[in-house]
Amino acid sequence: MATRVHSLIRMPVAHTRRFGAIEYDPSSVLTFPSGLPGFDGHSLFTVVEQPELAPVVFLQSVTAPELCFLAAPVAMIDAHYELALNREDLDRLDLDPARSPVPGVDVLLLALLCAPENGPLTANLLAPVVINLHNHRAVQAVRSDLRYSHQHPIPSTAEPVCS
C-alpha cells in the first residue's frame, strides 16, 4: 500500500519516531472514522512494510509521530478465524449489512501485536482491525463474545525445539 507512484508527484511526509520522516501515498491511507479504543482521536494511519517482517506490517499514525502498531494478517495466526462485525462497525466501514464481507476480497483483517522485550509475542484476536479494501476505511472491530483472546500467543518457530 505504501508504494511510491511517480517520482514527479510530491508525496506528503509523516514525521515518525520509529522511521523518521516518511513519504506516504494519501490514497493508501487507512481512515479509522472513530479511532481505536484508547486512541479515539487518531484516525489516519499508513502501512509501513519491511521486507524482513513481511507479511507483518506497521500501522503508523500520520499525525502522531509516536503512535505505531505492529500488525499481522489474522489468517497467518488463525487460518480458520471467523469474523464477527456488528452493525455499527459495518456502517463505519460503509459495508452492505445485507451480506457478509469476504476476507481478502472486501476486507483485510489484521491483528495488532504486542511485542515485549521479555515475554511472549501476542495478537489481539478479540479486536481485529478490519480494513475495507474498496475505500480504505478501517475499524478495530471489538467482539462481544469470548471466542478469541485479546492476548493470543504466537509461538516462535525460531525457538530451539527439544527432541
At closest approach, how far in Å is the CB of 68 from another protein?
7
CB 28 within 8 A of CB 54: no
**Residues in touch with another protein (CB under 8 A):** 1, 18, 36-39, 49, 52-58, 67-70, 73, 75-76, 104, 108, 112-118, 121, 124, 126-127, 133, 140, 142-144, 150-151, 156-158
At closest approach, how far in Å is the CB of 9 from another protein?
19
Cβ burial of 62 (10 Å; 0-12, 13-18, 19+) is buried
Interatomic CA distance for residues 163 and 141, integer angstroms? 41
Which CB, 95 or 112, lies closer to another protein? 112
Which CB, 118 or 163, lies closer to another protein? 118
At closest approach, how far in Å is the CB of 48 from another protein?
12
At closest approach, how far in Å is the CB of 136 from another protein?
11
Which CB, 41 or 116, lies closer to another protein? 116
Distant-in-sequence contacts of 155-162, Cβ < 8 A, 24+ apart: 156/120, 156/121
- State the cell numbers at 155: 509461538
At closest approach, how far in Å is the CB of 130 from another protein?
13
Q: Give the helix/strand (H/E) hosting 90.
A: helix 87-93
How far from 146 is each of 5, 75, 143, 149, CA to CA, in Å? Answer: 43, 19, 8, 7
CB 65 within 8 A of CB 19: no
